Chain A
Amino acid sequence: QLQESGPGLLRPSETLSRTCTVSGGSLTTSTYYWAWIRQPPGRGLEWIGTIHYRGTTTFYNPSLESRASMSTSASRNQFSLKLKSVTAEDTAVYYCARQTKKWEVPKYFDLWSQGSLVTISS
């Protein structure tokens, strides 16, 4: 299972921080990558980024790459997202997910967290 945590309300210009805890399994598997995806209220899905458990390989959505960073903690079985300089347009449900891979190329998402709404408002 995946469970995200972090503040649900931020002010514009602050940094969004989310942490995803992997339970019932290990973060340090070479079979999967780990990813963040978001969904603005009433809208579709947007992939944010993907990370290998070693933290040495990351992929980001070009539209968010300048503001997003991801990291991992093998000891805590967690991975995290930071998104700088948020605006109201970053208001969304944020999901963490497990992403399959083949020949080190990210593929589809086979396990999702329940998701949490993060609101950006002054």
Chain B
Amino acid sequence: IKLTQSPGTLSLSPGEGGSLSCRASEPLSSPDIAWYQQRPGQPPRLLIYAASNRATGIPDRFSGYGSGTDFTLTISGLEPEDFAIYYCQQYGRLVGTFGPGTRVDIK
């Protein structure tokens, strides 16, 4: 399954909110989508699993939803540390795949 993320870059100001899209090439029968945040020089960090469940310690300004082929990560009230690259991952098949990422940068 191939994942497409859009937009490639999202320019926002601190305090603003935004939505990141992840589209799968085939429907996922279960919401087997995770979202990760990667800051420069850091490993990815799990934000969301099963499309809408926040991982331990993740603030509630991060939320996810979706089903089938379309999934969304929403960030509300951007903090300075939220400017990063965000990847989605599907694990509905044994061969898990990542999307190409969306960069969230400061406007």
Q: What number of B residues sit within 8 Å (CB to CB) of A? A: 21
Q: Is the CB of A115 within 8 A of B95?
A: no
Residue B75 at the chain A interface, CB threshold 8 Å: no
Q: Is the CB of A107 within 8 A of B91?
A: yes
Q: Is the CB of A46 within 8 A of B98?
A: yes
Known: A44-B87, A44-B101. A106 touches B96 (CB 8 A): yes
Q: Is the CB of B43 within 8 A of A44?
A: no
A108 contact set on B, CB distance < 8 A? 34, 46, 49, 89, 91
Q: What number of A residues sit within 8 Å (CB to CB) of B? A: 19
| Chain B residues at the A interface, C-beta cutoff of 8 Å | 32, 34, 36, 42-46, 49, 55, 87, 89, 91, 94-101
| Chain A residues at the B interface, C-beta cutoff of 8 Å | 44-47, 59, 61-62, 95, 100, 105-110, 112-115
